[in-house]
């Protein structure tokens, strides 16, 4: 339910988690939260889930925060009942540019084909199914690339910890860096193209 494409964001942890004080219909950007102004401010990145913590959505930044309501840039894609959860991230890194196209995703079924010494073909599953994707950011300021690698070091223990990745359309997934090697291709003295590979651990979930 997005009209504006957002820039991707990496997040970890929750702050000021509250519950919705009323139901919200799909397509709405208005979230009723008792005492909202005491927990959120305009510009905070907002996430919602069902009461049990499932079906997480990223709604982008809060555009307006009233005494008992949070309004967000992105609309909820599905209706939410009273008691659904709302929060902002404890740690986050939001990119200043959109991810470059095309998007490369790899679906690995974990199945390989091998031939015996006699030439018979055998198909076997050697690992669990996995989905990975390559993120590429072009014409990125060198300073932002440095800030990102510092964030990985500080908030993800150098890349060992899982995090939540939010794409430009509100989708959310728990992810991990497949490699701590982050490719930087210098376009000019002050700008780089940065590329990294993530593996999706669990969709519509938050860490």
- For 26-56, how does the pLDDT look when each residue is reduced to its tens digit (9 = 90+)? 999 999 999 999 999 999 999 999 999 999 9
Mean pLDDT of 99-128: 80
Distances (CA, A) of 91 to 23, 35, 117, 195, 197: 28, 23, 54, 21, 20
Task: Work out the pLDDT band at 76, boundaries 50, 70, 90.
Answer: very high
CATH of 9-92, picked from 2.30.30, 2.40.10, 2.40.128, 1.10.357, is 2.40.10
Strands, E assignment, 6-84:
9-19, 30-32, 45-49, 57-66, 69-72
pLDDT of residue 183: 67
Mean pLDDT of 53-63: 94
pLDDT of residue 187: 67
Q: Which of 53-57, 129-133, 141-145, 163-167 has the lowest mean pLDDT?
A: 129-133
Distances (CA, A) of 185 to 44, 190, 193, 195: 32, 11, 5, 8
pLDDT of residue 25: 97
Domain locations in the chain as residue ranges: 9-92, 104-203
User: Closest Cα partner for 80 from 59, 105, 111?
Assistant: 59
CB 45 within 8 A of CB 57: no
Mean pLDDT of 67-89: 96
pTM for the full predicted model: 0.84
Q: Distance from first CA to last CA of the chain, Å, rounded? A: 23
Q: Which of 31-40, 80-89, 130-139, 197-206 has the lowest mean pLDDT?
A: 130-139
Bigger pLDDT: 185 vs 205: 205
């Amino acid at each position: 339910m997005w009209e504006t494409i957002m820039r991707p964001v990496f997040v970890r942890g929750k702050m000021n988690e509250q519950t919705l004080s009323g139901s919200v219909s799909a397509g709405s950007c208005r979230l009723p939260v008792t005492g909202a102004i005491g927990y959120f401010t305009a510009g905070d990145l907002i996430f919602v889930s069902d009461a049990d913590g499932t079906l997480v959505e990223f709604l982008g930044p809060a555009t307006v925060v009233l005494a008992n309501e949070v309004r967000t840039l992105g609309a909820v894609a599905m209706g939410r009942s009273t008691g659904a959860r709302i929060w902002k991230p404890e740690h986050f890194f939001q990119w200043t540019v959109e991810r470059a196209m095309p998007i490369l995703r790899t679906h690995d079924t974990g199945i390989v084909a091998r031939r015996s010494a006699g030439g018979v073909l055998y198909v076997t599953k050697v690992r669990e199914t996995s989905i990975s994707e390559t993120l590429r950011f072009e014409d990125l300021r060198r300073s932002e690339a440095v800030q990102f690698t510092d964030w990985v070091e500080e908030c993800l223990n150098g890349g060992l910890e899982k995090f939540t990745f939010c794409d430009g359309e509100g989708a959310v997934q728990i992810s991990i860096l497949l490699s701590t090697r982050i490719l930087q291709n210098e376009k000019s003295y002050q700008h780089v193209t940065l590329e990294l590979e993530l593996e999706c651990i669990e969709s519509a979930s938050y860490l």
